[in-house]
Amino acid sequence: MGTFEIKGFDKLEKQLKRMEKGAKELDGQHDVSFSELFTVPFMQKFTKFSSFDELLAAGGFKVKSNEDFEAIPDADFDKHIASVTKFKNWEEMLGEATEQYICKKLGL
């Protein structure tokens, strides 16, 4: 019987180690900034803006703190998100950004 060589296990092992490291970083509760979630590529792909701050400013929302952001009426923000992004509402936009953030951390 002949022998054969299987290649690619080193690459797979490195990928699995990156995923493990990313999973450990994601474990538990974390505060993730809007700039980490809503990266320039994300904003350019799904909105008319290059940053989350630009999106807020275009809606007339003055946000200097988490409290300011939390004070924005949900209906007003959802309407703004629907008008300037590819999402129906804030929850949908946040969900997509979170999913992409997790995938990036896991190296997917």
Structure tokens at 83: 């008008």
CA-to-CA distance for 62 and 48, rounded, in angstroms?
A: 18
Domain residue limits, the chain:
34-106
Please give the full DSSP string across 52-101, using - where no structure is assigned: HHHHHHHTT---SSHHHHHTS-HHHHHHHHHHHBSSSSHHHHHHHHHHHH
Q: Please check whether residue 74 is in contact with residue 90, taking contact to mean a CB–CB distance below 8 angstroms.
A: yes
Residue-level pLDDT, tens digit, the chain, 108 residues:
566 566 666 665 666 566 566 555 555 566 788 888 999 999 999 999 999 999 999 999 999 998 999 999 999 999 999 999 999 999 999 999 989 988 887 776
